[in-house]
Homo-oligomer: A and B are copies of this chain.
Amino acid sequence: MSQTTAKRPLTTLQKNTNKSVIVRLKNDVEYKGKIDNVDSYMNLIMSDAEELNDGKIVEKYGKIILRGNNVLFIKLENEL
């Protein structure tokens, strides 16, 4: 990948709209679901969201809005 085609992190995140991701928060809980939308603070709308603890589903939420400042990292779909 050349430097000219590389995307900024937030741009890449926006390109993953409608794709599946796993979001790990600072409290180590993970949320798996589809990105509906994202803004520059990494505030995320996820649909079909599942809360994972140690990789096991502990709750299903449907649509949630995650506040971006809690995010540790986001695994992109093609890597799940």
Contacts and interface: CB of A to CB of B under 8 A. Distances in A.
A8 to B, nearest CB: 5
Interface string A29-71: 0010000111100111100000000000000011111111111
Nearest to A67: B71
For chain A, give the interface size range: 35 or more
Contacts of A27: 26, 72
Nearest to A25: B72
B12 A65 contact: yes
B72 A65 contact: no
Interface of A: 1, 3, 6-10, 12-13, 17-18, 25-27, 31, 36-39, 42-45, 61-76, 78-80
